């Protein structure tokens, strides 16, 4: 260790230069606002107050850092441990950043966690530039790893649940630890490691915006999702409001709640809203929910508490295709929930999927018309993609729609020439991309939609942000 025997830990949010194309519209995907990486902040909070540990965080995108700037920053800080979180879509940049860390400081150790590592722990650990991985619920394993490193007890690392490590050429991968159901036991994420003024959302109306998480997991069975049928665990309403209050003191009054489905426990959601209202907290926030577990009471409370958008996974305007995806909802439920949400005065965003196996162009157009008919305010389209370790991938392999699991070879050796493929038997990938763009344009170019959105604009900065997104869509 360096710096008066303190263990120096550097958290890095990698540059975004080698992102694998996702299935969402490329023009939207390429223009994201800066969002904090909550997974890193959650594990950082477990160790940042240790007296014999020093922490820093570099957000390359928010700081406009490329790899040369990152190299220089790592060299200047000279960390003992570099930590990053990876999605499969960002693993190329994460791997490159790990290589840069090794070049800048050959003795530094690299630890990776995140969704990609949960899917491919063994494959990631075998990468040359990786020394440790944390998989499963990361807070406790990461804390134990850091404690072992700062105490010089590298032998104990071999037995820490949820941690993978290397001894020479040998890899040691322990099973993930138990799921922590009491999320209140975790500290508030380490937001103090960030310059919070750099984070925003296109719909935040010019105010600071920050992502927060109140729950993890999803008990539902959607086949395209890698967290289907996972244990739902959550923070109490009191803990959620404590975190919101903390962030308000730093100037944040707009929040994006990143929970996959916050409405799983409707009573908890209602209690969060009631507590916000009772305490007189003046904020706005956005959530994602299913159409089958919100009612008029919940929507009224959400509106009063400050909810200004609900994202719904509509997926399709065809009941046949909804059933194929195992959504377990009906078109009538979708219509009714959008009606109730509109009556409550909360704008909606509908997410569609096109290119579902056996889907026709006629059905795609029908889905877009369905979204217009239910009067969704915002709209996005993804292309049906068999992602790693999902039931959709397994089903498509079983139906001979997918010849092999090509994600496996990518995980073993991520290379920049990798291309996401849709494996649709009816349409070529470029045809689906074209349909995606044209269907998006058909929704957003409607005169009634454009007029309604122009009437909502309250500031020049809001006009600029919305114009940038609109131009990306309509070009």
Q: Between these two residues, 455 and 85, which has the higher pLDDT value?
A: 85
Examine the pLDDT at 331 and tell me if it is beyond 60: yes
**Mean pLDDT throughout 210-224?**
95
Q: Which of 31-45, 253-267, 283-297 has the lowest mean pLDDT?
A: 31-45
Residues 135-160: tens digit of each pLDDT = 999 999 999 999 999 999 999 999 99
Q: Between these two residues, 448 and 78, which has the higher pLDDT value?
A: 78
Measured CA to CA, the distance from residue 438 to residue 73 in angstroms comes to: 43
Strand 7-13 relative to strand 53-59, pairing = parallel
Examine the pLDDT at 275 and tell me if it is beyond 90: yes
Confidence of residue 208 (pLDDT cuts 50, 70, 90): confident
Residues 251-269: tens digit of each pLDDT = 999 999 999 999 999 999 9
**Mean pLDDT throughout 27-49?**
78
Average per-residue pLDDT for the chain: 91
Measured CA to CA, the distance from residue 385 to residue 427 in angstroms comes to: 13
Query: What pLDDT, on the 0 to 100 scale, is given for residue 4?
Result: 60
């Amino acid at each position: 260790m360096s710096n008066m025997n303190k263990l120096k830990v550097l958290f890095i949010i990698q540059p975004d230069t080698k992102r694998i194309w996702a299935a969402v519209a490329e023009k939207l995907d390429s223009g994201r606002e800066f969002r904090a990486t909550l997974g890193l902040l959650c594990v950082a909070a477990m160790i940042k107050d240790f007296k014999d540990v020093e922490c820093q965080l570099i957000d390359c995108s928010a700081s406009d850092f490329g790899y040369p700037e990152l190299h220089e920053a790592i060299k200047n800080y000279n960390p003992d441990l570099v930590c990053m979180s990876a999605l499969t879509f960002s693993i190329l940049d994460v791997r490159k950043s790990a290589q840069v860390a090794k070049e800048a400081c050959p003795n530094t150790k690299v630890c990776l966690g995140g969704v990609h590592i949960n899917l491919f722990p063994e494959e990631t650990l075998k990468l040359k530039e990786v020394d440790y991985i944390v998989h499963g619920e990361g807070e406790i394993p990461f804390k134990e790893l850091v404690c072992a490193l700062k105490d010089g007890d590298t032998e104990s690392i071999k037995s820490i649940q949820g941690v993978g490590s290397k001894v020479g050429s040998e890899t040691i991968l322990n099973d993930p630890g138990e799921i922590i159901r009491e999320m209140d036991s975790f500290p508030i994420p380490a937001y103090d490691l960030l310059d919070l003024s750099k984070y925003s959302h296109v719909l935040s109306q010019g105010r600071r915006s920050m992502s927060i998480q109140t729950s993890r997991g999803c008990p539902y069975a959607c086949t395209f999702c890698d967290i289907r049928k996972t244990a739902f665990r959550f923070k109490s309403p009191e803990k959620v409001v404590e975190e919101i209050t903390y962030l308000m003191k730093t100037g944040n009054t707009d929040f994006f709640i990143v929970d996959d489905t916050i409405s799983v426990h409707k009573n908890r959601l209602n209690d969060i809203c009631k507590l916000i209202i009772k305490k007189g907290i003046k904020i706005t926030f956005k959530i994602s929910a299913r159409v089958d577990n919100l009612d008029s009471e919940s929507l009224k409370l959400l509106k009063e508490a400050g909810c200004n958008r609900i994202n719904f996974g509509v997926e399709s305007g065809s009941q046949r295709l909804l059933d194929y995806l195992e959504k377990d909802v009906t078109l009538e439920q979708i219509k009714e929930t959008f009606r109730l949400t509109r009556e409550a005065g909360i704008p909606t965003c509908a997410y569609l999927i096109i290119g579902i196996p056996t889907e026709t162009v006629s059905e795609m157009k029908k889905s877009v018309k369905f979204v217009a008919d239910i009067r969704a305010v915002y709209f996005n389209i993804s292309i049906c993609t068999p992602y790693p370790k999902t039931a959709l991938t397994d089903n498509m392999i079983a139906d001979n729609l997918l010849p092999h699991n090509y994600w496996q070879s990518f995980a073993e050796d991520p290379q920049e020439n990798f291309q996401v493929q849709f494996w649709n038997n009816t349409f070529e990938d470029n045809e689906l991309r074209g349909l995606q763009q044209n269907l998006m344009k058909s929704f957003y170019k409607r005169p009634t939609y454009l007029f309604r959105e122009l009437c909502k604009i309250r500031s020049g900065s809001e006009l600029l942000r919305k114009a940038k997104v609109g131009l990306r869509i309509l070009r």
